[in-house]
Amino acid sequence: MSKTTSNKSKAGSRAGDSARRARILVLHGPNLNLLGRREPEVYGYATLADIHAIMEARARAAGVQIESFQSNSEGELIDRIQAAAAEGIEFIIINPGAYSHTSIAIPDALRGVAIPYIEVHISNIFARETFRHHSHFSASAAGVVCGLGVQGYELALDAALLRISQA
Ligand code: CA2
């Protein structure tokens, strides 16, 4: 699966029902479409679909719509972030993958739309190669979750839901 949406078509079919529009966007960077299928010793056995299902159930219980998007392309991730601003997305959860360590343009886009975001890493990037120790996303993030496996996405979602409820 390269792209995942949650209730997007349902939301689209109910014109004017703004309560049904996604309010949280989950972004997955390059190669994360391989989750669960390669390198399980590093990234575990859960697939992106599994992660989305867990997050969607949790968000639905809180009455919040969530949408997930994965791309291997820096430009597509930037386009999705820019579209999120026009859609009224209130919070972004992002695992930028290897772009964490290389991209200036994606964190620029996040700062540009001024949507708060939490950065998630499945693995403990500080226990890996030195080039993974720095992320260009962290300084502007509302928070960073790292090294807790796919549970990190759930923790990030809980924090996002709390912040949305307090806004
Ligand atoms: O730990 C993470 O979540 C990372 O963001 C994952 C990136 C890596 O470049 C970062 O340093 C840390 C790699 C994502 C690649 O995902 C794969 C999943 C399964 C098999 C191969 C790659």
Mean pLDDT (10-residue bins), the chain, 167 residues = 38 42 92 91 90 96 96 98 96 98 98 98 97 98 97 97 91
pLDDT of res. 6: 38
CATH number at residue 73: 3.40.50.9100
pLDDT at 12: 31
Among candidate residues 28, 52, 121, 136, the one labeled active-site is: 121
Residue type, 102: T
- Residues paired with 146 in a beta bridge: 121
Position 132 in a domain: yes
Phi-psi region of 46 (alpha: psi -120 to 50; beta: other; left: phi over 0): beta
Which amino acid type is present at position 29?
A: G
* DSSP single-letter state for residue 46: -
Assess whether the C-beta atom of 98 lies below 6 angstroms from ligand 1. yes
Residue 147 domain-assigned (yes or no): yes
Is 12 inside any structural domain?
A: no
Q: Is 43 one of the annotated active-site residues of the chain?
A: yes
Ligand 1 near 32 CB (within 6 A): yes
Cα of 62 from ligand 1 centre, angstroms: 29
119: closest CA among 97, 86, 102, 88? 97
Residue among 149, 165, 148, 1 nearest 91 (CA): 165
Residue 14 located in a structural domain: no
What's the number of domains the chain is made of? 1
Q: Is the CB of 97 under 6 A from ligand 1?
A: yes
Q: Which of 24, 42, 26 is nearest to 34 (CA)?
A: 42
Substitution site in 99, 123, 124, 145 for ligand 1 pocket (most atoms within 8 Å of beta carbon): 123
Q: Check pocket membership of 151 for ligand 1, CB cut-off 6 A.
A: no
CA distances from 122 to 10, 29, 83, 131 (A): 31, 12, 26, 16
Range of the domain at 94: 3-7+20-166
Reported in sequence order, the residue ranges of 17-162 that DSSP labels E, i.e. its strands, are 24-28, 66-70, 91-95, 117-121, 143-146
Residue 14: both structure tokens together:
């109910």
Any domain includes 65: yes
